[in-house]
């Protein structure tokens, strides 16, 4: 179990940020990968407590992994440059996503949402920097101790960018509302876009 402190920066493309990371001596983590996530709940009990139970598969050209993650909220932290989200996180590495899905459903948990993204991760000191493409936009997420978060966002010129402590689910709901579209819990790529992204990553379509 660990505590995470993170903030998202909106509308930042990884191709823009990568040269800055390289110039600062940041370390890439395995290269970009494709993620497929399934969120589970049992009669809305986790949603009511603002908790998250997620099964995630990550794919690289030469390997893949599966992780089950449970998150519960902690009070947000207000920094000089804005609010950062605090969560308590417990994560477990797995071998088989399908078997874990069967176990969760046998315990009464049901899939309530799916989402996909391409993520490219770097580390800079104690900070983890994730550059994400989702079906509704590009984002950067920094997870770090308080002092490092403020320092790294300034070094990457993100301190002047629109930022948020909200989850991707909430940001997606706001995006849908802003585009006069009905609310929905899942956000996945179109078949065509998914095939393009997977091909660019060297993955089977």
The answer to whether the Cα torsion of 203, 169, 159, 80 is positive or negative is negative
Percent of the chain with pLDDT over 70: 99
Q: What is the pLDDT of residue 113?
A: 97
Q: Which DSSP helix (H) or strand (E) runs through 148?
A: helix 146-155
The full 3-state SS of 87-138, as one line of letters, equals EEEEEEEECCHHHHHHHHHHCCCEEEEEEEEEEEEEEECCEEEEEEEECCEE
Token pair for 54: 């997620």
Give the span between the Cα atoms of 198 and 204, in whole angstroms. 7
pLDDT digits (tens, 9 = 90+) for 137-148: 999 999 999 889
What average pLDDT does the segment 67-78 reach?
91
Q: What is the C-alpha separation between 51 and 34, in angstroms, rounded? A: 24
Nearest residue to 71 via CA among 88, 84, 59, 85:
88
CATH class name, domain 2-200:
mainly beta
pLDDT value of residue 81: 75
Q: How far is CA 117 from CA 92, 169, 197, in A?
A: 20, 13, 9
- Please tell me the total number of residues recorded for the chain in this structure: 205
- b/e string for 142-151 if b means 16 or more Cβ within 10 A? bbbeeebbbb
- Cβ-contact 1, 89 below 8 angstroms: yes
The pTM for the full model equals 0.92
| Residue that is written with structure tokens 């984002």 in the block | 139
- Residues 76-85 have pLDDT tens digits of 887 767 788 9
């Amino acid at each position: 179990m660990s505590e995470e402190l993170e903030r998202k920066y909106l509308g930042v493309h990884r191709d823009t940020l990568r040269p800055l990371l390289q110039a600062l001596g940041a370390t890439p983590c395995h290269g970009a990968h494709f993620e497929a996530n399934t969120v589970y709940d049992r009669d809305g009990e986790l949603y009511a407590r603002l908790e998250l139970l997620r099964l995630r598969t990550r794919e690289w050209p030469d390997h893949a992994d599966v992780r089950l993650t449970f998150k519960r909220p902690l009070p947000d932290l207000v920094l000089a440059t804005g609010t950062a989200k605090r969560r308590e996180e417990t994560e477990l590495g797995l071998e088989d996503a399908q078997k874990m899905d069967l176990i969760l459903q046998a315990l009464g948990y049901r899939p309530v949402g799916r989402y996909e993204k391409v993520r490219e991760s770097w580390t800079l000191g104690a900070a983890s920097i994730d550059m994400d493409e989702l079906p509704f936009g590009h984002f950067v997420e920094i997870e770090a101790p308080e002092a490092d978060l403020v320092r790294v966002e300034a070094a990457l010129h993100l301190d002047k960018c629109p930022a948020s402590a909200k989850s991707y689910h909430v940001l997606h709901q706001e995006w849908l509302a802003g585009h006069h579209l009905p609310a929905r819990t899942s956000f996945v790529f179109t078949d065509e876009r998914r095939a393009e992204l997977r091909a660019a990553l060297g993955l089977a379509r």
